[in-house]
Structure 1
Amino acid sequence: MREPRPPSPGRPAAAHKLRWVSARDRDWDGVRLHVVTGKGGTGKTTLAAALALALASGGKKVLLVEVEGRQGIAQLFDCPPLPYEERRVAVAARGGDVHALAVDAEAALLDYLEMFYGLRRAGQALTRFGVVDFATTIAPGMRDVLLTGKATEAVRRRVRPERAARRGARDEARAPFVYDAVVLDAPPTGRIARFLNVNAEVAGLAKVGPVRNHADRVMEVIRSPETVVHFVTILEEMPVQECLDGIAEVHKAGLNVGGIMVNMVRSPLLDPAGLAEAADGAVDVEAIARGLRAAGLDRPEQVARELSGEVVEHARRLRAETAARERLTAPGRPRYALPHLGEGVDLAGLYRLAEALREQGAA
C-alpha cells in the first residue's frame, strides 16, 4: 500500500485571511478523543482526516476511526479499502503517523465475545446464521456500543513493554499511550448524541453484567475531559441550523462540545464596499463593457451583462454566508475556517486543510 507523504512545505495562502480566532499553541491540550460530526455534504470525513493529519504533525501517532462502513478514509488517502485492522495510511507534515481503522460491528462483536467470554469461534458461527445482524437490528444501541467501544479502547490502550508486564498493573499504568490522539469520524449530526450516549441506549438491554460494564467504560471515556465533539458545517442555512441544534443536543446530553469547523469558505473577490454595492445590485455594467472592449474581446456588452450577474450572485452569497457566520458565534466555541478547494480534495488539498487547522490552533 502506498503511504501518502506531505507535499512540499508551504502554508496555505488563504490561512491568515480565514482565521477567526486568535492564534494559540493548541485549543485542545489534554484531549485524546476527537469526535467529528456534521450534516451530510459538509465534508465531515474530509475534515476528520485533516484533523488527524494536523494532530499527528510533529512526530505524533494518531488513529483515525471510521464507523459508517463507507470506506471514505481509504478514498481520501488513495489506498485500498481498510480492513478491520489498524494500518498506517499517511505520514504527517514534520513527521508523525496517521493510522486508520474501519470498524465493523460484526468484527467488533467477535472481539467483544472473545474478550469477555472467550467465544470467538462461537461468535463466528453466529455470524454465519445472521444472528449478529438480527441482534443489532432489534437492539441498535448494542451496535453503537460496539462501534464506540473500539475507539475508546484505542484511547485507553497503552504500550506494554515486557518489563512493565512482568511488574504488574502499576507499572503498566505508567506506560505511554499507543496513540497520542484518536479521531472518530462519527455519524451525522442528527444522531450524534444518541450514538455517543451509549449508557442510555443499553439501559433497557442490561442492568448488570459484561454488556453494562462495557458500556460504562465507554461512557467513562466519552464523558471525560479527554473527549470533545467537533461540528463540521458550511455557511448555508440548513447545515448551520443543524450544527446549532446538534451542539445544543450534545450539551444537553452532558457531553463536551469542541470546536466548529466551517468548511468551504470562499474568499471575497471585491473589497467590502464593492461587495455591499454588488449585493444591492449596483454593478456598473458599462464600465465592465468598456474594459472588455479595451481588451479586444468579442461581444463585450453581452459578456458584461453576464459577468455583472455573476458578481451580484457572488456578493449576495457572501452576504448570506456572513449572516450564517454570525449565527455560529452563539455557542461561544472556537471556530476554524477551512478554504474552499475549487479543484476538489486530493492528497495535497488534505494536507492544506490540515495545515489550516494547525495554524488556527485546532491541533
Structure 2
Amino acid sequence: MALSTQLHVVTGKGGTGKTTVAAALAMALAGQGKKVLLCEVEGRQGIAQLFDVPPLPYEERQIAVGLGGGEVYALAIDPEAALLEYLAMYYRLGRAGKALERFGIIDFATTIAPGVRDVLLTGKVYEAARRRTGNDFTYDAVIMDAPPTGRITRFLNVNSEVAGLAKVGPIRRQADSIMEMMRSSTTHVHLVTVLEEMPVQETIDGIADLQSERLPVGHVILNLVRPSLLSADTRDALAAGTLKPAKVAASLAKAALAKAAAPALVAGGEAHLERQRLQDGQREILQDCGRPLVELSSIRDGIDLGALFELAEQLGDLA
C-alpha cells in the first residue's frame, strides 16, 4: 500500500546548492500549511546553518513556520544513533547496545558493511514517513537532503547493498520495505544543477542511473540562474559587434560620467553576454532530459531565512 506521506529526495552535484533547495522546498510545503520533516544524512549540519539554529541533535526539532502556517521540523540522522535505535527496536538490546557503542562495534559494523549504513540512514527516513499520530501520518511530507548525484542511486537502492549481507531477517525485511517506499508513486527524487557543463552532464547521467533502477525521478531544478542584465537593444548590438567603446564613451559624457570606463563596460557586457549564451546552451540540453524543469534565480546577498522564503515562492509548482 502506498504511503500518503510525500517523500522528496533532493540530490545534486556538490556546489549546486542542494541543501538550500531542500530547505526552500520545506518552506514551500509549509507555506501550504503542511507539516514537514527536513532530514540530512551527511553529518554536515547544513540545515542548522541555513536556518541559523544550534546544531541539530538526533531528534526531530521544529525550526521554522511557513507563511501558510505549516511547520518545518528538522532531523540530522546519525548512523550510530540509528543503529542503536534499530538494535533496541528489533533485538531489544537496550543497555547492551550502549555497551557495543563503547567497544566501537558500531564503527566496525558500518565500516565492513557500508550498505548497512545506508539502510540505517534511509531506514530512519522510512520510519518517519510511515509514522502515524492517531489515524493520520505524523508528517505530510518528508524531505531528504541526500548524498550527491554520483552516489544517489547506490544510496537509495539499499536492496543491492544488503543483498550479500542478509538474505532473510529484520535487515532484509527493512531493506525490502525501504525499496517499496523508494519506488512508490509518493516518492520524488529531484536533481539540483547549475547551468554549467559538468553539473548538467552529471544530472543527465544521474537521471539515467535512477531510471535504470526504477527509482522515480521528479523535477530537475536549475539553481543559481543568472538573469540577463542587458536590454534587448544592447544585447543585439554587442552580439553584432556594433557597440564600440567610443559610442559608450559619448553616452557617458552626456551623463557627466567618466568616459575612461567605456572599454571596461563594453568588455563586461560581452562577458555577460557569453555567460548567458552558455546558460542558454545548457538549458537547451536539459530540456531534452524528459523531466520537468524548475528555475531558481541567483540571490546576491547570501542565503538567510528571507532568501529561503523567496526561493520557496519560486518552487511553488514543484511543492
TM-score between both structures, scaled by the size of structure 1? 0.85
1:207 aligns to what? Answer: 167
The share of aligned pairs that are identical, in percent, is: 59
1:237 aligns to what? Answer: 197
- Superposed, 1:1-363 pairs within 5 Å as 32-160=6-134, 175-272=135-232, 274-279=234-239, 281-298=241-258, 300=259, 302-358=260-316, 361-363=317-319
Q: Structure with the greater relative contact order (CA < 8 A, sep ≥ 6): 1 or 2?
A: 1
Give the letter aligned to residue 312 of structure 1: E
Deviation at residue 332 of structure 1 after TM alignment = 1.8
Deviation at residue 273 of structure 1 after TM alignment = 5.5
Distance 1:281 1:112 in 2: 66
Deviation at residue 350 of structure 1 after TM alignment = 0.8
Q: Deviations over 1:275-326 (max 9, x none)?
A: 354246543222211122122223x1x3110111110000000001001001
Give the letter aligned to residue 65 of structure 1: C
Give the letter aligned to residue 333 of structure 1: R
Distance 1:267 1:239 in 2: 19
1:36–1:44 CA contact under 8 A, matched in 2: yes
1:86–1:101 CA contact under 8 A, matched in 2: yes
Distance 1:293 1:286 in 2: 10
Deviation at residue 44 of structure 1 after TM alignment = 0.4
C-alpha root-mean-square deviation of aligned residues, in Å? 1.5
Give the letter aligned to residue 362 of structure 1: L
Q: Secondary structure at the match of 1:68?
A: coil
1:34–1:229 CA contact under 8 A, matched in 2: yes
Judging changes above 3 Å, is the alpha-carbon distance between structure 1 residues 312 and 220 closer, same or farther for their aligned structure 2 residues? same
Q: Deviations over 1:171-201 (max 9, x none)?
A: xxxx111000000000000000000000000
1:279–1:313 CA contact under 8 A, matched in 2: no
Deviation at residue 270 of structure 1 after TM alignment = 2.0
Q: Secondary structure at the match of 1:228?
A: strand
Aligned length: 317
User: Tell me, which stretches of 5 or more residues in structure 2 are unaligned?
Assistant: none
User: Tell me, which stretches of 5 or more residues in structure 1 are unaligned?
Assistant: 1-29, 161-174
Distance 1:233 1:247 in 2: 12
Q: Secondary structure at the match of 2:261?
A: helix
Distance 2:291 2:233 in 1: 30
Give the letter aligned to residue 297 of structure 1: L
Distance 1:87 1:61 in 2: 12
Deviation at residue 31 of structure 1 after TM alignment = 6.7
2:183–2:214 CA contact under 8 A, matched in 1: yes
Deviation at residue 81 of structure 1 after TM alignment = 0.2
1:234–1:264 CA contact under 8 A, matched in 2: yes
Give the letter aligned to residue 311 of structure 2: L
Q: Secondary structure at the match of 2:14?
A: coil
Distance 1:235 1:283 in 2: 27
Q: Deviations over 1:82-118 (max 9, x none)?
A: 0000000000112100000000000000110011010
Deviation at residue 340 of structure 1 after TM alignment = 0.5
Distance 2:177 2:132 in 1: 16
1:31–1:225 CA contact under 8 A, matched in 2: no
Deviation at residue 127 of structure 1 after TM alignment = 1.3
Q: Secondary structure at the match of 2:267?
A: helix
2:58–2:78 CA contact under 8 A, matched in 1: yes
Give the letter aligned to residue 334 of structure 1: P
Judging changes above 3 Å, is the alpha-carbon distance between structure 1 residues 127 and 288 closer, same or farther for their aligned structure 2 residues? same
Distance 2:29 2:82 in 1: 26
